[in-house]
């Protein structure tokens, strides 16, 4: 059973002025490296799941996205954090794709390609659609940064920042299988 912490990127791991894609604008948010190391040490594998409609909207290219992503992954690696994979949705909101969060498509890709065990995995994000994608994919739960919990129930929780989100996940007992 491979437990994953699935990570939204923009506004969760990195500062997001809106459609962030230039390496010059890269800024890792406080508490992220520490929180990720703690999740890793507790046995979670890590993967990024990110909506990138800026590609579909023509604001930046797949190459821009890949460059920014490589910068993020290598910065995290230098801080002892290993990201297994990144899954991104390049589509616009009107394209009706199955991968744009809140749809569960990116998480289902992770299940197929990484062997992720979704019922024991968690999502950390800063948007309601992150939590809704987690719910749709049947994850153990989601932590939403900077807002009230978007869905009822103990498995959807709010935290003030990334380190707080990691702490919330790590203090919970291992989930029972559904």
Q: Given the complex with Zn ion, which of 105 and 141 has the nearer CB atom? A: 105
101 binds Zn ion (CB under 5 A): no
Which CB atom, from 49 or from 81, has the smaller least distance to Zn ion? Answer: 49
Q: Which is nearer to Mg ion, 127 or 141 (CB)?
A: 127
Instruction: Find the residue with minimal CB distance to Mg ion.
Output: 11
Residue 10 a catalytic site member:
yes
Strand, helix or coil for residue 97: coil
Applying the rule CB under 5 A, the residues between 54 and 93 that interact with Zn ion are 89, 91
CA distances from 141 to 65, 70, 78 (A): 28, 28, 29
- CA atoms of 31 and 149, how far apart (whole Å): 20
Residue 79's CB: how many other CB atoms inside 10 A? 13
For the range 15-19, what are the long-range contacts, defined as Cβ-Cβ under 8 Å and sequence gap of 24 or more? Answer: 19/54, 19/57, 19/59, 19/60
Maximal C-alpha separation, the chain:
44
Q: Which of 3, 7, 8, 68 binds Mg ion (CB under 5 A)?
A: 8
Question: Closest distance between Zn ion and the C-beta of residue 54, in Å?
Answer: 12
- The contact mask relative to Mg ion for 9-48 (x = CB under 5 A, - = no) is -xx-------------------------------------
What residue ranges bind Zn ion (CB under 5 A)? 89, 91, 97, 99-100
Residue positions annotated with a catalytic role: 8, 10
């Amino acid at each position: 059973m491979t437990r994953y912490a699935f990570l939204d990127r923009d506004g969760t791991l990195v500062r997001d002025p809106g459609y962030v894609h230039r390496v010059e604008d890269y800024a890792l948010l406080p508490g992220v490296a520490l929180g990720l190391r703690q999740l890793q040490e507790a046995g979670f594998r890590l993967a990024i799941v990110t909506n990138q409609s800026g590609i579909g909207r023509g604001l930046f290219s797949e190459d821009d996205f890949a460059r920014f992503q490589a910068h993020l992954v290598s910065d995290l690696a230098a801080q002892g954090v290993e990201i297994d994979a990144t899954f991104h949705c390049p589509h616009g909101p009107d394209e009706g794709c199955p991968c744009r969060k809140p749809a569960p498509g990116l998480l289902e890709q992770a299940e197929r390609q990484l062997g992720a065990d979704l019922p024991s995995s968690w999502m950390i994000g800063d948007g309601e659609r992150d939590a809704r994608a987690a719910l749709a994919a049947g994850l153990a739960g989601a932590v939403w940064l900077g807002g009230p919990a978007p869905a009822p129930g103990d498995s959807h929780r709010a935290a003030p920042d990334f380190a707080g989100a990691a702490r919330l996940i790590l203090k919970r007992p291992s989930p029972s299988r559904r």
